[in-house]
Amino acid sequence: MPKDTLTVKDNRTGKEYEIPIWENTIKALDLRQIKVTDDDFGMMSYDPAFTNTASTKSAITYLDGERGVLRYRGYPIEQLAEKSDYLEVAYLILFGELPTKEQFESWRYDITHHTIMHENIKDFIHAFRYDAHPMGMFISTVAALSTFYPEAPNIHDPNNRLIQIQRLIAKVPTIAAFSYRHSRGLPYMYPDNDLSYTGNFLNMMFKMTELKYEPNPALERALDVLFILHADHEQNCGTNAMRSIGSSHVDPYSAMAGAAAGLYGPLHGGANEAVLRMLRAIGSVENIPDFIQSVKNGDRRLMGFGHRVYKNYDPRASIIKKTAEEVFEVTGRNPLLDIALELEKIALNEDYFIERKLYPNVDFYSGIIYEAMGLPATMFPVLFAIPRTVGWLAQWQEMLGDSEQKIARPRQVYIGPEKRDYVAITKR
Ligand code: ACO
């Protein structure tokens, strides 16, 4: 009868250890018993960038990178993108089940009625330099919200937590739109409760002098699909930051500002902006072979390709490709799409990319759609942060309710100098 254990032999001592296996993992702490002498600290595992370490158990998002599978709470992303809407998916991610009609109506009401911000927040955003990057404003404003809700640090009260969660999901589109309008020198537009979550966001972004803003239904839906695709993605850099900062039991606004900062980098949520710059630099389809060659030479990366977890086509990229066509029927074709399609075709047939299992990720096509919708590249990371808010908050709540979690505090392997005595500056 096979046993669910791992037998480890320490060749330094000849001793054998039997370590339990759970869900194809071993607990790193079980290695600590492996010692050469009794006063040894014990063995640790070394895993820079957590490439093979599960930092938590989670019931939110299932991702199989080898097969290109993504599910929220068990539901395939393809079905949610086709049949659901962002607010319903947000409910699912947070509470674990799809809402009944009544639950959904009350959820939508609560989110819709928390979209307005304190007027001081407007002054706060107003104080940024005229050309400030909207993501910098977004991160700082999310952090600043903690100062408006003195009860927010009371994170152990589930009702109090829920109010902060509703506020954050409701207000991030408002913060995002105000940041954009500030960077354009445009007056801020207040939320319109008659509109959907994404319809209202478009309203706050683009309304000018018309009495009532009417979002184009195809663009409103496309944005909703993009929001669904970005709602959660298990333990990525931003989410790991949310859990890590949240593990100190700080309020959710401060933790989420850190998560959003993680998202801002070009290797994470900033990649779609980098994709657009890359496509523009390529300029036309004829220049693609030279560009691919420079990637193969190691001179640059093909932005929007590759993923730490997906070693197959990112399922979100397939859905986005379809959404792109729907958007272009309204906006006209973005010429960068032809470069992107050709780039993908060539890359997928090149040994360099095949051997390394590099496929398009979610960012490869999203920027092209956003641009066609009139959303500038500086807004791309912000457009990622809005829907990811629910993922961060769901993961944060899960972490708080997990009795195995403690304040995040990795170990290190010290490789610096041994003890040495201080030498006076005159003698160095
Ligand atoms: N273009 C060219 N080569 C690449 C690329 C790329 N986009 N991505 C990885 N490689 C190569 C690496 O050079 C390396 O080759 P080597 O083995 O010859 O040294 C190999 O593939 C493995 O790459 P790593 O960097 O070790 O893979 P890692 O898992 O650390 O990186 C990452 C993942 C950061 C996403 C990387 O693929 C990348 O930089 N992609 C471009 C940026 C991007 O699109 N980021 C968005 C990710 S999706 C998201 O965050 C929502």
pLDDT of residue 272: 85
pLDDT of residue 68: 92
Average pLDDT along the chain: 95
Does residue 1 have a pLDDT over 80? no
Burial class (CB within 10 angstroms; exposed 0-12, middle 13-18, buried 19+) of 409? exposed
Residues facing residue 17 across a β-bridge: 8
Q: Is 35 in the pocket of ligand 1 (CB under 6 A)?
A: no
Distance of CA 156 to the CA centre of its chain: 25
Residue 203 to residue 214: CA distance in whole angstroms:
7
Residue 267: pLDDT band (50, 70, 90) is confident
What is the pLDDT averaged over residues 204-213? Answer: 96
Determine which residue's CA is closest to atom 45 belonging to ligand 1.
267
For 252: left if phi > 0, alpha if psi spans -120 to 50, otherwise beta; the answer is alpha
What is the pLDDT averaged over residues 384-400? Answer: 98
CB 14 within 8 Å of CB 23: no
Residue 118 to residue 148: CA distance in whole angstroms:
8
Q: What angle do CA 355, 356, 359 make, to 5 degrees?
A: 105
Condensed to tens digits (0 to 9), the pLDDT of residues 168-203 reads 999 999 999 999 999 999 999 999 999 999 999 999
Give the amino acid at 271: A
Residue 239 to residue 217: CA distance in whole angstroms:
31
CB 190 within 8 Å of CB 389: no
Does residue 253 have a pLDDT over 90? yes
The CA 311 to ligand 1 mean position distance, Å, reads 11
335 versus 210: which is more confidently predicted? 210
Active site (annotated) includes residue 182: no
pLDDT of residue 224: 97
pLDDT of residue 269: 84
Active site (annotated) includes residue 133: no
Residue 385 to residue 284: CA distance in whole angstroms:
31
Of the residues 156, 268, 314, 351, which is catalytic? Answer: 268
Residue 335: pLDDT band (50, 70, 90) is confident
Tokens of 419: 């003890």
Does residue 143 have a pLDDT over 80? yes
Does residue 116 have a pLDDT over 90? yes
What is the pLDDT averaged over residues 142-171? Answer: 97
Give the amino acid at 113: H
Q: Is 388 in the pocket of ligand 1 (CB under 6 A)?
A: no
What is the pLDDT averaged over residues 51-79? Answer: 96
Residue 180 to residue 291: CA distance in whole angstroms:
33
Could you tell me the domains of the chain? 74-267+380-400 (1.10.580.10), 271-372 (1.10.230.10)
% of residues, the chain, pLDDT over 70: 100
Reduced to 3 states (helix: H, G, I; strand: E, B; else coil), residue 189 is coil
Q: Which atom of ligand 1 lies at the shortest distance from residue 268's CA? A: 50
Tokens of 140: 């700082």
Residue 293 to residue 92: CA distance in whole angstroms:
44
Does residue 308 have a pLDDT over 90? no
Q: Which of 358, 363, 383 to mutate to test the pocket of ligand 1 (most atoms within 8 A of CB)?
A: 358
Of the residues 114, 230, 233, 307, which is catalytic? Answer: 307
What is the pLDDT averaged over residues 408-426? Answer: 97
What is the pLDDT averaged over residues 18-37? Answer: 97
Q: Is 307 in the pocket of ligand 1 (CB under 6 A)?
A: yes
41: number of Cβ within 10 Å: 8
Q: Is 358 in the pocket of ligand 1 (CB under 6 A)?
A: yes
pLDDT of residue 304: 92
Active site (annotated) includes residue 126: no
pLDDT of residue 94: 98
Q: Is 308 in the pocket of ligand 1 (CB under 6 A)?
A: yes
pLDDT of residue 250: 98
Q: Is 267 in the pocket of ligand 1 (CB under 6 A)?
A: yes
What is the pLDDT averaged over residues 163-168? Answer: 98
Reduced to 3 states (helix: H, G, I; strand: E, B; else coil), residue 397 is helix
Distance of CA 350 to the CA centre of its chain: 29
Could you tell me which of 79, 78, 73 has the C-alpha nearest to residue 234? Answer: 73
The CA 306 to ligand 1 mean position distance, Å, reads 5
Q: Is 121 in the pocket of ligand 1 (CB under 6 A)?
A: no
DSSP summary character for residue 360: B
Tell me which H or E stretch contains 176: helix 158-184
